[in-house]
Structure 1
């Protein structure tokens, strides 16, 4: 697991600087084709501490009925996935914060539910690429503080915040993003009384506890050496990303609802930050965001930290209003 400490950051940074060379990585990644990459400098990639699969992704998770779940606090965040014609599913962040990837299948659609705590990037992807179903794991590497995933079929590396292949034979391939959102357990339960919720994985983890206490109140991101966001926006302020546009959570919460650029973004209170207090359900209220088009259909989006948006979308548009 990653521990948010200055000593760990310094150690991992020194290790990454010494090891930013694919020749060093080949003993751990013998199947990865490092000759094919979109990464311009290997120094962009750092060790997050754990080795390959040191953060164990979950495949084929177990689910229980919403009515049987008694462990989650009302304000705890869950990833909601509601595919047409299928029973809605909730993936508690108390599990995602320790495993980062859940490989699942919903109504015949193979999905990867992903969460990078260091960027607060939470995205659900379709695992099919060119007719092949991929299964994803965690490399233990970071780029711009964001998790680098890998697929077990080719051991290519994928940037989680982009759903983009960056190293190996899958370089340049993109994963389709499936609309999903993070909301409180109480919100999901109230709307989906007959829904399903992911059960606790059979791993010895302190589920419900936050290994990154106080992280989203920090001045600087963990293991990040890039530029800070423009316009005086704090590095760890949450922003809603839709395509290459970003709205600050502060602006949306103040307005309650914003209609711009063909999207409708709404906010309401009641969801705890998973990166604040030791107990995830006791985190400060950051509220729930929903992003829809003007016809009311849910849109793919991300609720990431401002520094990550600036790093991955340096030419992106900041929707600051007046």
Structure 2
């Protein structure tokens, strides 16, 4: 029997929601965080029902040649990072769903691969900030249903969807966003036959490949979100491609195939499964995959985020609707 998101919500509330129902203070147990310096209203922060590092970030992941990987389904989504002069790297959502942050580096360049399932935000950031290399963890807290990260060096809080420090000594500091894109495992292998892929993490006992958010992206409302609905009749959990403060609906891109606007070309292709649909990620419905390039053909940093999150973090943003 297909397990619905409503069932998941019941289980989640039973496991961790009791603490939320008792009004847990999300700022508790952070003695080294400077709460006197913040760019947000702390009343917007709420516990996600898990403690700090209850969702464990991965440091220095094992990587293997893509040609050696036998456990991924062709339609499974991966987050691709392809820095010039290095082998392209794939980070499967089957792992990111359970860990949300991967602290990695290549050629001495440190970066973080991040994924927030509740708002479908998958972003890559440089980890060097003001001359210091930071390592990120999952705080267990949410704002507008988006993961709040923290850095282990100063215990500042960072909003994942916007890549900006919100509490602590780094409040107001912006992380440098790097190009990365979601695509199917099959697409990655075809484009990068000499690429490498994150291997299954060891020692965590997670059910990799299983989707703990069954039916989430077809549910009626985001988990732990109390903000406004998006405008223009757009469903809160509709996927949109965000570039800066502009958003294009995936529905429009799938219909038109390619759109050239605002200095970028966005292309859509079928073949990538939703990680937030079926009990097994590989069985998720096809939501397609996009690529964003500028006029010079270079990949552009972007995000494929749920519409409610775009509206929450960019309330004055521009919706690039069909003409």
Instruction: Assess same fold via TM > 0.5.
Output: yes
1:242 maps to 243
Q: Give the structure 2 partner of residue 136 of structure 1.
A: 136
Encode CA deviations 1:200-239: one digit per residue, 9 max, x unaligned: 0111100000000000001100000000100000000000
What is residue 86 of structure 1 aligned with on the other side? 86
The alignment's C-alpha RMSD in Å is 1.6
Aligned to 2:39: 38
Contact 2:19 2:49 in 1 (8 A): no
- Determine if the alignment matches structure 1 residue 231 to structure 2 residue 232: yes
Contact 1:9 1:222 in 2 (8 A): no
CA distance in 2, matches of 1:314, 1:12: 29
Mapping for residues 251-262 of structure 1, pairs under 5 Å:
251-262=252-263
Q: Quick check: 1:157–1:165 contact (8 Å CA) kept in 2?
A: yes
Checking the alignment, whether the CA contact within 8 Å between 2:26 and 2:141 is kept in structure 1 is: no
Q: Is 1:19 aligned with 2:20?
A: no
1:264 Cα offset (Å): 0.3
Shift of residue 108, structure 1, vs aligned partner: 1.8
Q: CA deviation at 1:321?
A: 2.2
Provide structure 1 residue ranges, at least 5 long, that are not aligned to the other structure. none
Helix, strand or coil for the counterpart of 1:19?
Answer: coil
* Alignment partners' CA distance in 2, 1:70 and 1:233: 39
1:83 Cα offset (Å)? 0.1
Please state how far the C-alpha of 1:17 moved relative to its aligned partner: 7.6
SS at match of 1:118: coil
Q: Which runs of 4+ in 1 moved over 4 A?
A: none
Match in the other structure for 1:184 = 184
Give me the whole-angstrom Cα distance separating, in 1, the residues matched to 2:57 and 2:81. Answer: 18
Aligned to 2:9: 5
- Mapped contact 1:177–1:300 kept (Cα < 8 A): yes
| Residue ranges of structure 2 left out of the alignment (5+ in a row) | none
Question: In 2 relative to 1, CA 105–321 (structure 1 residues): closer, same or farther, beyond 3 Å?
Answer: same
Contact 2:222 2:236 in 1 (8 A): yes
Question: Which secondary structure does the structure 2 equivalent of 1:18 belong to?
Answer: coil
Q: 1:58 to 1:7 in 2, by over 3 A?
A: closer
By how many angstroms is 1:12 displaced? 3.5
State whether residues 20 and 45 of structure 1, in contact with CA within 8 Å, keep that contact through their aligned partners in structure 2.
no
Distance 1:139 1:191, change over 3 A: same
For 1:197 and 1:240, locate their aligned partners in 2 and report how far apart those are by CA, in whole Å.
24
Q: 1:7 to 1:97 in 2, by over 3 A?
A: closer
Give the drift of 1:46.
Answer: 0.9
Calculate the TM-score normalised by the size of structure 1.
0.95
1:21 Cα deviation from its structure 2 partner? 6.6
